[in-house]
Chains A and B, each alone.
Chain A
Amino acid sequence: MAKPKVASDWLAGCAGCHMSFLDMDERIIELTKLVDLRATPITDLKEPDEDGVTVGILEGGISNSYNEEVALRMRERSKILIALGDCAVFGGVPAMRNFVGADEALKRAYIESESTDESGKIPDDPELSTTQHVRPVSDVVKVDVFLPGCAPSADAIFYVLSELAQGRMPETNQLTNDWH
């Protein structure tokens, strides 16, 4: 039987959860004996397989229309979707923006910042995504496995992926439930 396929992507996150994933060090070799690691932001393939993957992983919350598209696509192409890290699970640090609102945040960043002169302008190119209220992944798509943490430990990520690789849903326990 073919190894289950795993794909990941990052949204409004700092990539720290992917770094934590890599912190499993040599265990990644063990893991890749059990799974077929496909598209990730740090491997060559960039989009999850069109014919679908078994496990999709999303790091980061949803802060704009592009994040939303990526999340919807990952959900569509994954049998099991993991929300990886506090940003994906709760909204995380980017969700701090919600206290002032996207408009205020854009104004502060592009017009009122200390290094902006009169030519400061909020980018409005139609090709750009629209800035939104920051949401956890589960507010946009159904999530099957929540792995909170900032970042979740490499041990927790290894546990979750190796359980899924062996056909079991991972437990929520002291290892996997550490919000930081």
Chain B
Amino acid sequence: MINLTVNEKPIELPDGGTVLDAIHLAGFNVPTLCHHPKLTPYGSCRLCLVEIEGARTLMPSCTVPAAEGMKVHTDTEKTKSARSFILSMLFSERNHFCMYCQATDGDCDLQTAAYDEGINHWTITPAYKPFYVDTSHPDFILDNNRCILCRRCVRICSELVGNNTLGLEHRGSASILIADNGIPLGESSCISCGNCVEICPTGALYDRRSMYQGRETDLTHTETVCMDCSLGCTRVIKTRDNRLVRIDSKFDDLFLGGLLCEKGRYAPVKEVRQRIEKPLIRRNGELQPIAWDSALACIATQLKAYGGDEISAYISGRLPMDTLQGFKSFFEDGFNINRVGLFGHDESAAVSIELAKEFGAFESTLDALEDADAAVVLGADLTTDHQVAGFMIKRKSREHFSLVEVSRDENKLGQNFIRRLIRVGDDYDEIIDLLICYKANGACPDAEQIIQEQGLTAHRANLLLDSLPDWQKPVFIIGKDYAKLSNLESLRKTIRFAQEIGAKVIILKGDTNSFAAPLLGIELNPEFKAATVAIYAMADGHACGHALEALKKSEFKIVHSAYFNEFTDAADLVLPCKTWAEIEGYYLSTDGRLQFHNKALVAAEGQHSIYDVLNFMAERTGFSLKQDWQTVLPQKVSGIIKA
């Protein structure tokens, strides 16, 4: 512990803290711009300068380590005049005209810092040197005229996302933010995660679709769970007058570090599909409006006329717990329908359940990625699916980290790792056997041949294998290309090896609620079969060609969807559905976290969710939906995921 005083107040700070940490601990504050609690301190803006008795000059509190006996003063004549001077220098360096910037009036840290110092005019005239505005990116704009070179965007892109796209070119006042080696952002290695846009303190990086549509205080913020994969990141839906404006992350979220990926941040605002507004029935080849009452009566008739194998009911994995269980209980328990399944061909949840029968609670929670020092990624492409998990790995290339990856297609997950063994294809066994052999013997006769297949970076594979004995906190990440029921033998071998070397295991389970579905008894990877009556509860999700074929071959086709699509084109009865944003409910993440998703928008009248319709049907048929998942689920989850 370090003992020092801040503004004469004595405090005790844990070792390794900075002067800024000490200032905060003492209950004081200094203005900052380039500093962010989630990024390593940089010290570029100099706004946090403080007086430390005995020091040669004013010191930047964000980077100076606190030392025993320091006497820090935060609000003296010198510090106040330094802050005003620094701010006037910042304003004069580029072109900071507030009146036509969308960050003005509350969303710009530079403007707010100036207000706080009582600055009401510029004492140094700007040079009026125009800076490049990069509008090449489809999702956001970079206006270098507003940049204060704080490097927050550069740091988040490398330290938290691990993509290393952004950097700086040239020096001094000629310094400029660039992508890769100076190419337009839209042509660069940028993966459109948008985290740089969110962390930019000024209006330099801003979102295209939501610009000028309201300050943060004009928008309604609803904290929800992301729907676009099973990681369950928190996202904040920002709306105005019941219209989706922007999706941001929750930076102070402890879990997964408050990052979002392209899917989570932009998929909903890029929605172009046409919304269905009323129930429709096909008459003479054309879909025509029908009253809800008639639509429900029609479904009831169909259900009463047929049963068992003659009806198939499929549901999307992007729906909350009450809907999934309600669907299952209504069709299976209520109408004895044998074929109640989930859309999609991802067997990972089923595999997890199967493996738990032998290994007990063998999986770990996602925070295992935070302090991992080695990862074995099998059958998952973390650059397209479950991207935030990919960020947590990519950013480790700056540290002593070992990466083994076997993926179906080539990807850029491991490109910056020094110790890496990358294999494209589905030779999971060959690689696992190599690791097992190397672990046991310190060498392996097959090694050279396997390594050579990595081509130019073969020497890195050697480094990887040599690092095996040093792995302290390895993590195995298994994705849907490997997690298939046909691979169970291989998977068992892999889990056994993982447990032998003390590795944590994470199996990534597809869609938002794909994990919950089989736990509630809904069949995964159903073989889509045609039936006399087909009920497709799609909500706002998609389904594959096999499902479409089966639908077309069915006699009476009922599709409950939020949007028009190929399935509604083929349907006989189409019901309008609420989207994910218009319903609330519980979702189970891939590592067993049960999270509540809040409603962010209000649906138009006449659009009913799948759960609403299940309730209407239940009323009509005198059936009551089973809703005991709250008591049943936790036990099942704890049998698979270690707490």
Interface residues of A (CB under 8 A from B): 83, 86, 89-93, 95-96, 98-100, 133, 135-136, 138-139, 143, 146-148, 150, 172, 174, 176-180
Q: Mark B95-121, 1 if CB is under 8 A from A, else 0.
A: 101111000110000010011001111
**Which residues of chain B come closer than 8 Å to A139, judged between CB atoms?**
125
Question: Roughly how many angstroms separate A180 CA and B121 CA in the complex, as a whole number?
Answer: 13
Q: Which of A83, A93, A135 interacts with B100 by CB under 8 Å?
A: A93
Given A177-B115, A179-B104, A136 and B121 contact (CB-CB distance below 8 Å) = yes
Closest A residue to B98 using CB positions: A179
**Which residues of chain A come closer than 8 Å to B119, judged between CB atoms?**
177
Given A179-B111, A180-B104, A95 and B97 contact (CB-CB distance below 8 Å) = yes
**Which residues of chain B come closer than 8 Å to A180, judged between CB atoms?**
98-99, 104-105
Interface of B (DSSP majority class): loop
Q: Are B120 and A93 in contact (CB under 8 A)?
A: no
Question: Roughly how many angstroms separate A136 CA and B122 CA in the complex, as a whole number?
Answer: 9
Q: Which of A135, A150, A176 interacts with B120 by CB under 8 Å?
A: A176
Q: Are A148 and B95 in contact (CB under 8 A)?
A: no
Closest A residue to B125 using CB positions: A139
Q: Are B125 and A135 in contact (CB under 8 A)?
A: yes
Interface size class of B (residues with CB under 8 A): 10 to 19
17 inter-chain pairs at a CB distance below 8 angstroms, sorted by A residue, are A86-B97, A86-B98, A89-B120, A90-B97, A93-B100, A96-B97, A99-B130, A100-B130, A136-B121, A143-B121, A148-B121, A150-B98, A150-B99, A176-B120, A177-B118, A178-B105, A179-B98
Which residues of B72-104 are within 8 A (CB) of A?
95, 97-100, 104
Distance of B202 from chain A, by nearest CB (Å): 13
Question: Roughly how many angstroms separate A180 CA and B119 CA in the complex, as a whole number?
Answer: 14
**Which residues of chain A come closer than 8 Å to B97, judged between CB atoms?**
86, 90-93, 95-96
**Which residues of chain B come closer than 8 Å to A99, judged between CB atoms?**
95, 128, 130
**Which residues of chain A come closer than 8 Å to B125, judged between CB atoms?**
135-136, 139
Q: Which of B98, B100, B121 interacts with A146 by CB under 8 Å?
A: B121
Given A178-B105, A179-B104, A180-B104, A172 and B118 contact (CB-CB distance below 8 Å) = yes
Q: Are A138 and B121 in contact (CB under 8 A)?
A: yes
Given A98-B128, A99-B128, A99-B130, A179 and B99 contact (CB-CB distance below 8 Å) = yes
Question: Roughly how many angstroms separate A180 CA and B130 CA in the complex, as a whole number?
Answer: 21
Closest B residue to A174 using CB positions: B115
**Which residues of chain A come closer than 8 Å to B128, judged between CB atoms?**
95, 98-99, 133
Question: Roughly how many angstroms separate A155 CA and B620 CA in the complex, as a whole number?
Answer: 61
Residue of A133, A147, A177 most packed against chain B (CB within 10 A): A177
Closest A residue to B131 using CB positions: A99
Question: Roughly how many angstroms separate A63 CA and B104 CA in the complex, as a whole number?
Answer: 25
**Which residues of chain B come closer than 8 Å to A98, judged between CB atoms?**
128
Question: Roughly how many angstroms separate A82 CA and B346 CA in the complex, as a whole number?
Answer: 69
Question: Roughly how many angstroms separate A143 CA and B119 CA in the complex, as a whole number?
Answer: 14
**Which residues of chain A come closer than 8 Å to B120, judged between CB atoms?**
89, 146-148, 172, 176-177
Question: Roughly how many angstroms separate A179 CA and B115 CA in the complex, as a whole number?
Answer: 9
Given A99-B130, A178-B105, A180-B105, A92 and B121 contact (CB-CB distance below 8 Å) = no
Q: Are A93 and B115 in contact (CB under 8 A)?
A: no
**Which residues of chain A come closer than 8 Å to B95, judged between CB atoms?**
99
Closest A residue to B122 using CB positions: A90
Distance of A101 from chain B, by nearest CB (Å): 9
Question: Roughly how many angstroms separate A169 CA and B114 CA in the complex, as a whole number?
Answer: 21
Closest 5 CB pairs of A and B: A150-B99, A98-B128, A99-B130, A146-B121, A146-B120
**Which residues of chain B come closer than 8 Å to A93, judged between CB atoms?**
97, 99-100
Closest B residue to A147 using CB positions: B120
Distance of A85 from chain B, by nearest CB (Å): 9
Closest B residue to A97 using CB positions: B128
**Which residues of chain A come closer than 8 Å to B118, judged between CB atoms?**
172, 177
Question: Roughly how many angstroms separate A133 CA and B127 CA in the complex, as a whole number?
Answer: 11
Which residues of B39-53 are within 8 A (CB) of A?
none
Closest B residue to A96 using CB positions: B97
Distance of A86 from chain B, by nearest CB (Å): 5
Distance of A136 from chain B, by nearest CB (Å): 7
Question: Roughly how many angstroms separate A174 CA and B98 CA in the complex, as a whole number?
Answer: 16
Question: Roughly how many angstroms separate A98 CA and B111 CA in the complex, as a whole number?
Answer: 22
**Which residues of chain B come closer than 8 Å to A90, judged between CB atoms?**
97-98, 121-122
Question: Roughly how many angstroms separate A147 CA and B121 CA in the complex, as a whole number?
Answer: 9
